[in-house]
């Protein structure tokens, strides 16, 4: 174990959380910018912006499914690596890294082939109309070609932080995002490639980040090394990755299902423009929410290492500080959204009808946003200590057990408003349940801490 790992158990928690969260926040915001920048450029394409952004909205469930598998493997691997390093099991940590790469190749190729073969049927199921289908196909067919690089890049972004090099992780993501923005402008407005240009810009940038991460583990000064013999899948390691990664995977996969249900409800109650409005709202949600995911990811190796080392009080302090930081960040975001919705929405499209629907929707959809911090950080805490079943429940609670029924029931009585109010209703209930579950877990850890102190 090198000094980068040892400090996780010795340095002040506040200092560690800043050290690991800031690069993670940058990394997640940059990751979110890949899609958000695409939507800004596409939404402002002359003559077709509103319909093009609607087509992009229809592809969001597919993009979310890609992210779900990235988190399944990436978060599952990074969490297990942190725990193994905390236990002093370096060899197992390296085997986990190798297995993650092989899993990414298998899953990425499967998603790509399935999407390319059944693209039309999938997009129509996900809410595409005859008018928006052409834009959705033009974008997603290109993006699917880069699925493997997308997954591998996300995995390296997670594991490089756990390897004790959060600054490099953030640097790689920033370079990828800047490259994406430059290529977007060139492909869309200089070469007139339209929506396909945005897709090509995305996959080229993701390819660069994946290759950079690969060279770090093969030629760089990494603590863990990527060895060829560790690429062979091991059933127990794969199960360990899936067990921990299943919670964030379920959350993202559920989000994809909600997007499908939402797109179809939006098409019924508001038409193509309503789907375009939700695509705009989700873009803003991404930029507000990504920093919170960054805080969560920054806290993960600290919690996992200290829990694995039986330093339960340090794990609990990390939980508290991360929750406070997330809540403050979301509250600031909520104030901005409520005061300046027109300014935010107009970045993506200036069509008067689309802006009006988006402004009305975002104020209602994000009305309970400050409460989300407890739900996200709490679920991440349960996941980071290896309690897969409870983490799965908390992840499914907000996005499936509560949100899906709300999406199906409320629009029948409230129309389009029912879709906007479904999320805040789920947020309130999820906050209460998560608080109760996490509090009970923390109290049990305090009892364990007392036992450790009594034996010392």
Residue with tokens 């174990």: 1
Sorted by sequence, the CB contacts under 8 Å of residue 230 that are 6+ apart come out as: 94, 95, 97, 98, 99
Question: Within 10 A of 179 (CB to CB), how many other CB atoms are there?
Answer: 17
Q: What is the DSSP string of 327-351?
A: HHHHHHHHHHHHH-HHHHHHTT---
HSE-up (13 A, CA, CB side) for residue 143: 26
Give dist(CA 447, CA 312) in Å, integer.
10
Give dist(CA 240, CA 97) in Å, integer.
12
Give residue-wise pLDDT tens across range 52-96.
778 888 888 898 899 889 989 988 888 888 788 777 788 888 888
- Dihedral sign for Cα 382, 69, 157, 371, please: negative
For residue 221, pLDDT over 80 is answered with no
Q: Give the pLDDT band of residue 428 (cuts 50, 70, 90).
A: very high
Residue with tokens 């339209």: 194
Give residue-wise pLDDT tens across range 235-259.
888 898 888 888 778 778 877 888 8
- In 233-349, which ranges are E strands? none
Q: In the prediction, which pLDDT does 2 show?
A: 54
> Coil, strand or helix: which one is 368?
coil
Q: Give the pLDDT band of residue 339 (cuts 50, 70, 90).
A: very high
Q: Identify which of 406, 400, 394 has the alpha carbon closest to the alpha carbon of residue 431.
A: 394
Instruction: Write the Ramachandran bin of 220: left for phi over 0, alpha for psi from -120 to 50, otherwise beta.
Output: beta
Say if CB 192 and CB 63 are below 8 A apart: no
Q: In the prediction, which pLDDT does 451 show?
A: 60
For residue 26, pLDDT over 80 is answered with no
For residue 281, pLDDT over 70 is answered with yes
Could you tell me which residue, 46 or 356, shows the higher pLDDT? 356
User: What are the tokens at 71?
Assistant: 């988190």
H-only helix segments in 87-165: 90-117, 119-125, 130-143, 147-162
Backbone angles phi, psi at 226, to 5 degrees: -95, 110
Give dist(CA 15, CA 37) in Å, integer.
32
Sorted by sequence, the CB contacts under 8 Å of residue 254 that are 6+ apart come out as: 395, 396, 399, 400, 403, 404
For residue 4, pLDDT over 60 is answered with no
């Amino acid at each position: 174990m090198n000094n980068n790992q040892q400090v996780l158990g010795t340095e002040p928690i506040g200092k560690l959380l800043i050290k690991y969260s800031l690069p993670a926040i940058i990394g997640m915001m940059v990751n979110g910018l890949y899609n958000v920048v695409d939507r800004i450029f596409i939404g402002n394409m002359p003559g077709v912006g509103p319909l093009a952004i609607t087509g992009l909205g229809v592809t969001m469930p597919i993009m979310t499914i890609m992210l779900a598998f990235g988190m399944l493997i990436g978060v599952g691997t990074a969490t297990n690596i942190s725990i193994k390093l905390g236990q002093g099991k370096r060899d197992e940590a390296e085997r986990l890294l190798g297995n993650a790469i092989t899993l990414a190749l298998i899953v990425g190729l499967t998603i790509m082939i399935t999407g390319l073969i059944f693209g039309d049927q999938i997009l129509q199921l996900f809410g595409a109309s005859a008018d928006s289908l052409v834009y959705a196909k033009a974008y997603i067919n290109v993006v699917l070609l880069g699925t493997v690089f997308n997954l591998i890049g996300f995995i390296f972004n997670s594991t490089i932080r756990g390897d004790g090099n959060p600054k490099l992780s953030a640097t790689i993501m920033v370079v990828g995002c800047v490259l994406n923005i430059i290529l977007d402008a060139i492909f869309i407005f200089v070469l007139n490639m339209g929506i396909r240009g945005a897709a090509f810009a995305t996959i080229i940038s993701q390819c660069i980040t994946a290759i950079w991460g690969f060279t770090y583990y093969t030629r760089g000064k990494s603590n863990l090394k990527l060895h060829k013999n560790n690429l062979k899948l091991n059933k127990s390691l794969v199960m360990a990755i899936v067990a921990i990664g299943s919670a964030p995977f379920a959350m993202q996969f559920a989000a994809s299902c909600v997007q499908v249900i939402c797109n179809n409800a939006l098409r019924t109650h508001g038409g193509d423009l309503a789907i375009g409005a939700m695509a705009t709202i989700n873009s803003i949600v991404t930029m507000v929410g990504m920093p919170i995911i960054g805080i969560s990811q920054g806290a993960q190796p600290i919690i996992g290492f200290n829990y694995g080392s039986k330093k339960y009080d340090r794990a609990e302090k990390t939980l508290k500080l991360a929750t406070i930081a997330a809540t403050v960040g979301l509250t600031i975001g909520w104030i901005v959204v409520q005061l300046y919705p027109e300014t935010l929405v107009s970045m993506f499209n200036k069509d008067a009808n689309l802006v009006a629907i988006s402004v009305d929707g975002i104020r209602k959809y994000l009305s309970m946003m400050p409460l989300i911090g407890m739900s996200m950080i709490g679920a991440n805490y349960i996941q980071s200590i290896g309690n897969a079943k409870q983490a799965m429940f908390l992840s499914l609670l907000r996005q499936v057990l509560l949100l899906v029924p709300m999406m199906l029931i409320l629009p029948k009585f409230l129309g389009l408003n029912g879709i906007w109010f479904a999320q805040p209703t789920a947020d309130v209930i999820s906050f209460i349940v998560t608080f109760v579950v996490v509090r009970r877990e923390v109290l049990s850890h305090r009892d364990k801490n007392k036992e450790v102190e009594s034996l010392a």
